[in-house]
Amino acid sequence: MAKKAAYMGMFTALAFVFSYLEFLIPINLGIPGVKLGLANLVTIVALYTMGIKEACMLALARIVLNSFTFGNPAAMLYSLAGGFLSLLAMAVAQKIKLFSVTGVSVLGGVFHNLGQILAAALVVENAKLLYYFPVLVLSGTLAGTVIGILAAMVIKRLDKQMHD
């Protein structure tokens, strides 16, 4: 139990630091809302090494901490919508074992963007925002691929240590 709590604390701190790094060094590709999603690396690692419940707690803690530190209530709403739709898609994909870690990450990136664009369309009451989704599918796929490759490497190394 103490080991699990220590890992949760470490994962939460690491996700927070990764979010802070992305806040400090914004990647401007000329496309609004596009980010690499470094903090999602930690969520994927938690999903594979600890389970869905822990990954949900981690995602919630990360989103709330980041929103209060770097954002606002609107940012929290969009992050919660994207984060939990993403986590749901990744948990289902991981459970059915149809995709690799990288594939699960790509689904997470795309569904994160879908959750955020749906939340935005509801908030501003304008479905035309959904026309932006194909651009977000591309960015979610690219970011998800990079994060997935990194996550697979971390999971491979960490899995042995966590279960010894």
Give the residue extent of every domain in the chain.
2-162
**Structure confidence at residue 24 (pLDDT):** 83
**What's the confidence (pLDDT) of residue 28?**
67
Its pTM stands at 0.90
CATH class of 2-162: mainly alpha
- Six-digit token string for 28: 């401007």
* pLDDT at position 130 over 80: yes
